[in-house]
Structure 1
Amino acid sequence: MTSSDTASRFLENPYILDLFAGPGGLDVAARMLDVPSLGIEWDKNACETRYEAGLPTWHADVSAVRQHRFEELPKELNVLAGGPPCQTYSVAGNGAGRKALDKVKKLIHELVSGADEKAIDEQLEQLGGDDPRTALVLEPLRYAIKALNSENRAGRPFDVIVLEQVPAVKELWNVYKSALEQGLPRQGETKRVKYEVAKVETLHTEAYGVPQTRRRTILIARLARHGAPLLPRPTHYTFNSRKPWEGSPSGEEEVAQAGTVQPELDSGETEKPPPPKPWVPMWKVLEERELPFEIRSNYGSGGDPKKRGVRTHRQPSFTVTGKVSRNAVRHPDGTAHDPDRLTIREAGILQTFPPNYPWSGGDQSQQVGNAVPPLFGMHVLAAALSLPLPPEERLREKWAEPDVEERSTLRKKGCGASDGCGPDCPKPEDQSSPSTASTTSRPRTGASAKRSVK
């Protein structure tokens, strides 16, 4: 099913817990929808950005919070969201997650059957091998089960669950779907807490107005009493790289029907949806760039210039990854543009962050590449919560940054100290970015072994 333009609110006060929150993509989307959120993020760099942006954040390990601090979470949280680290499942990663897929699916069934947490942890320790991020894909399910046995929450389940990941995890999300529909266990009870889950689909972000081709597999679930959820209905055409639009070099013409339509699902809607809009080219959002220009990708080319892809300013960007700084910006004749690389600000704009979003801390390319595009997140959350979509222009407005006192308060709440990390924060020596640290040098046990980057 896909969502319609008419929305019917079923949660009076939605409040999102964002696991693996990154620099704030989903939280920015939530703010556009006037929905409060609390993020849990392991990476100190991403937390620096979040505090500068005024986003409530716990600088903590997702697994450690579940094990030791779950009862400290606000009991009003009723929406569970997250995008677990994708590197081990992504085709661009090391493949550990893909190799362990069958074992991960088996553990999902064991969790739903009420298996002992320590036994699950032992199996996950073995499963993680050289890359413990593989196990983190189970954390949202473990949080959902934990909520049912929480004293602070009086056993109240999350009303809505929203998950996103790379396409390689679609098979795993379908196992999640079956588990949620079967029902989650509550200690001492035989009756299960059941969810209704929308069809798991891989969506194209440019089909939702993001000026970038990116695919994400989405799971949306609601408690059965709330009724079946809907996937967000596409609003734009998808980009067809085999038939790219070759319109006016001035970039002044609109693309008419360049690309294909994101497949419609069995919507059951009586009203005919409006026709899709053209996908959004780079020139429309990178307004400070002199036209014309090309983006030449060095990602995945192995250094071979013949294998480098090219996108013109009249097309959507390549997927913005943590290696976005490798992409060269050139004039059509091959000479360097000025500047000759995408800036962090520009990469953030292609991700649909506000132009003045306060990127902070180190490894900002990785932060930008790991984030959920806020515009895409806005569509997904609006569908999950049955909320009307605000004008997407709001994301292009100036981001309201907090003052010094507000940032200090956020940091104190999130780190336990107003001027730095507190005792519950991951240790500094354990926070080397996966993009710069070798697999063999990473810790493999305990909370410090977990990676909350996406």
Structure 2
Amino acid sequence: MVEQSKDPLVDRTSVELFAGGGGLAMAVERAGFRPLLFNEFAKRACETLVANNAERHELGLTPPIPRPGERPPLIEGDVSKLDFEYLKGRVDVLAGGPPCQPFSLGGVAKGDEDDRNGFPHLFKAIRQMEPRAVICENVRGLLRPSFKPYFDYITRELALPFEERKEGGNWQEHDEVLRHMLETTTVDEHERYDVRHYPVNAADYGVPQIRNRVILIAFRRDVGVDWDRFEDLVRPQFTEARLYESMADGTYWERHPEVPRGVRDQVMARLPQRPQPLVVTAAEQLQPWRTLRDAIKGIDGQRPLPPVKKLDRKEYNIDGFTDHIGWPDARIYPGHTPNELDRPAKTVKAGVHGVPGGESVMLLDDGNHRYMTVRETARVMTFPDDWALAGPRGEKMRQLGNAVPVLLGQVFANAVATVLDEAGRSK
């Protein structure tokens, strides 16, 4: 799918469950982990993974373990029907975002009673594979007071995944067992995971989007990683205050000389009256939040996107960019205000009934507004321009709304790779 960025002599491996359109999978592979398996249920998302080099295999049959350089297998279908025993002892990182609808502020919020809850299947996979590390991304709704007891249960179950819930038992009863074991029982370190969670805003990691999520990280205790080192590696490196400073000192506008003076004045008028300068150490080197305008112009070496044309279904490729065509009838209304160019984009959402209107509409410099194109939305999610997305426009937007921003995932995947390597060298 992508070239691995780490030392090719170190063969790190990964498995991705609930892979969706491939954001977290791409991040993990960029961190140097070779994918052994993808699993996803949604048809269009599977088509996207296949379009980006995954190889489809039949549900119910054990796929081959790919050698370096071979296409990673994709099994399309219900994760509950997969048997991962053939991968035991072969997986460094198990990654995935279990379906988040049960906990989303915008969803039906039925919590663990919702049949779409993917966490039990994640724990089954851990028991069967025994990975050295787990990366799990989900919505901030998991931390709501009404769900916090269940979230705490999830972390305890992740710490002791081999202590299964009794058939027919409820999670509260199982949680009591886990609590007792963690307080009083010595568990084999090979079957015990140390778990921490990180509430994050993707904008703090270089993503041009406000996206609040929670990331769960677990390391098998016998691996012996340095948690302090890990936490240093995942500290945010971008900040809102630096964006204000860059606007006030003019460096932001130097990057965007095309902005009309009147627009610039309006933006400056909305800045805090006297933004307090940040006091940071030289080692922190915090950078400004990236904006929607930055994303459209291109970050990390991307070419600027060309002007958006009106809807023309036949003109799919515009100046070398796919999925960059206009879409008609954009509306703004109370509760659905548009994105501003000189702020990070609002959270890209999939929604129960499709992509919400306001989150995919942008306000232009001339005072008009329009829908964001799929390509612009992909950039806001930090997907590369050559990443193919399958399906009609609505399905592409849904895949992006359900994805993990690549840059956010990559920070955590790189940190996992580093501490695993250092732990291995110290033994």
Structure-2 residue corresponding to 1:137: 119
Q: Cα deviations across residues 225-283 of structure 1 (Å, max 9, x unaligned)?
A: 22344241111114799999688799436999989999x9xxxxxx9742210011112
CA contact (8 A) 1:251 1:283 kept: no
Structure-1 residue corresponding to 2:84: 70
Residues 306 and 240 of structure 1, relative CA distance in 2, 3 Å threshold:
farther
Choose which of 307, 330, 340 in structure 2 pairs with 1:312. 340
Structure-2 residue corresponding to 1:49: 48
Choose which of 276, 289, 296 in structure 2 pairs with 1:286. 296
Residues 244 and 63 of structure 1, relative CA distance in 2, 3 Å threshold:
farther
1:90 to 2:104 alignment: yes
Alpha-carbon distance between aligned partners in 1 of 2:386 and 2:198, rounded to the nearest angstrom? 32
CA contact (8 A) 1:324 1:342 kept: no
* Structure 2 letter corresponding to 1:236: F
CA contact (8 A) 2:192 2:220 kept: yes
Q: Cα deviations across residues 195-233 of structure 1 (Å, max 9, x unaligned)?
A: 2223x2211101110011101101111111223442411
Structure-1 residue corresponding to 2:141: 168
CA contact (8 A) 1:162 1:218 kept: yes
What secondary structure, in the 3-state scheme, does the structure 2 residue paired with 1:359 have? coil
Choose which of 342, 356, 377 in structure 1 pairs with 2:409. 377
Q: Cα deviations across residues 93-120 of structure 1 (Å, max 9, x unaligned)?
A: 11112xxxxxx4xxxxxxxxxxxxxxxx
Choose which of 31, 34, 43 in structure 2 pairs with 1:33. 31
What secondary structure, in the 3-state scheme, does the structure 1 residue paired with 2:141 have? helix
Instruction: Give the drift of 1:387.
Output: 6.4
Stretches of structure 2 that go unaligned for 5 or more consecutive residues are 1-5, 55-71, 165-184, 257-266, 298-304, 309-330, 421-427
Task: Compute the RMSD of aligned alpha carbons.
Answer: 4.0
Q: Which has the higher contact order (CA 8 A, sep 6+)?
A: 1
Alpha-carbon distance between aligned partners in 2 of 1:261 and 1:359, rounded to the nearest angstrom? 42
| Worse-superposed segment, 247-256 or 30-39 | 247-256
CA contact (8 A) 1:325 1:343 kept: no
Alpha-carbon distance between aligned partners in 2 of 1:83 and 1:61, rounded to the nearest angstrom? 15
Structure-2 residue corresponding to 1:386: 418
Structure-2 residue corresponding to 1:398: none
Instruction: Give the drift of 1:143.
Output: 1.6
CA contact (8 A) 1:206 1:212 kept: yes
What secondary structure, in the 3-state scheme, does the structure 1 residue paired with 2:26 have? helix
1:342 to 2:372 alignment: yes
Residues 138 and 314 of structure 1, relative CA distance in 2, 3 Å threshold:
same
Residues 381 and 174 of structure 1, relative CA distance in 2, 3 Å threshold:
farther
Residues 71 and 185 of structure 1, relative CA distance in 2, 3 Å threshold:
same
* Structure 2 letter corresponding to 1:19: L
What secondary structure, in the 3-state scheme, does the structure 1 residue paired with 2:99 have? coil
Alpha-carbon distance between aligned partners in 1 of 2:110 and 2:410, rounded to the nearest angstrom? 31
Q: Cα deviations across residues 169-196 of structure 1 (Å, max 9, x unaligned)?
A: 133443333344457349xx99441122
- What is the TM-score with the length of structure 1 in the denominator? 0.60
CA contact (8 A) 2:242 2:288 kept: no
* Structure 2 letter corresponding to 1:317: A
CA contact (8 A) 1:247 1:253 kept: no
Stretches of structure 1 that go unaligned for 5 or more consecutive residues are 1-7, 98-103, 105-126, 148-156, 265-270, 292-302, 389-454
Residues 191 and 333 of structure 1, relative CA distance in 2, 3 Å threshold:
closer
- What is the TM-score with the length of structure 2 in the denominator? 0.63
Instruction: Give the drift of 1:352.
Output: 0.4
* Structure 2 letter corresponding to 1:96: K
CA contact (8 A) 1:15 1:78 kept: yes
Instruction: Give the drift of 1:354.
Output: 0.3
CA contact (8 A) 2:383 2:405 kept: yes
* Structure 2 letter corresponding to 1:334: G
Residues 369 and 320 of structure 1, relative CA distance in 2, 3 Å threshold:
same
Alpha-carbon distance between aligned partners in 2 of 1:174 and 1:249, rounded to the nearest angstrom? 44
Choose which of 222, 244, 263 in structure 1 pairs with 2:219. 222
Choose which of 382, 387, 395 in structure 2 pairs with 1:352. 382
Alpha-carbon distance between aligned partners in 2 of 1:246 and 1:308, rounded to the nearest angstrom? 29
CA contact (8 A) 1:311 1:317 kept: yes
1:208 to 2:212 alignment: no
Alpha-carbon distance between aligned partners in 2 of 1:183 and 1:74, rounded to the nearest angstrom? 14
Q: How does 1:170-249 map to 2 (within 5 A)?
A: 170=143, 171=148, 172-181=150-159, 184-185=162-163, 191-192=187-188, 193-198=191-196, 200-225=197-222, 226-229=224-227, 230-231=230-231, 232-238=234-240
Structure-2 residue corresponding to 1:328: 361
Alpha-carbon distance between aligned partners in 2 of 1:227 and 1:176, rounded to the nearest angstrom? 21
What secondary structure, in the 3-state scheme, does the structure 1 residue paired with 2:49 have? helix
* Structure 1 letter corresponding to 2:291: P
1:159 to 2:137 alignment: no
CA contact (8 A) 1:325 1:365 kept: no
Structure-1 residue corresponding to 2:21: 23
| Worse-superposed segment, 175-184 or 21-30 | 175-184
Residues 73 and 178 of structure 1, relative CA distance in 2, 3 Å threshold:
closer
Alpha-carbon distance between aligned partners in 2 of 1:304 and 1:89, rounded to the nearest angstrom? 27
Instruction: Give the drift of 1:13.
Output: 3.1
Q: Cα deviations across residues 295-338 of structure 1 (Å, max 9, x unaligned)?
A: xxxxxxxx8723333432111111111255733334345324xx
Structure-2 residue corresponding to 1:416: none
Residues 90 and 360 of structure 1, relative CA distance in 2, 3 Å threshold:
same
Q: Cα deviations across residues 384-441 of structure 1 (Å, max 9, x unaligned)?
A: 22269xxxxxxxxxxxxxxxxxxxxxxxxxxxxxxxxxxxxxxxxxxxxxxxxxxxxx
CA contact (8 A) 2:206 2:407 kept: yes
What secondary structure, in the 3-state scheme, does the structure 2 residue paired with 1:305 have? coil
* Structure 2 letter corresponding to 1:211: P
Q: How does 1:428-443 map to 2 (within 5 A)?
A: none
Percent of pairs with identical residues:
26
Residues 52 and 312 of structure 1, relative CA distance in 2, 3 Å threshold:
same
Structure-2 residue corresponding to 1:60: 77
Residues 218 and 137 of structure 1, relative CA distance in 2, 3 Å threshold:
same
Residues 168 and 325 of structure 1, relative CA distance in 2, 3 Å threshold:
closer
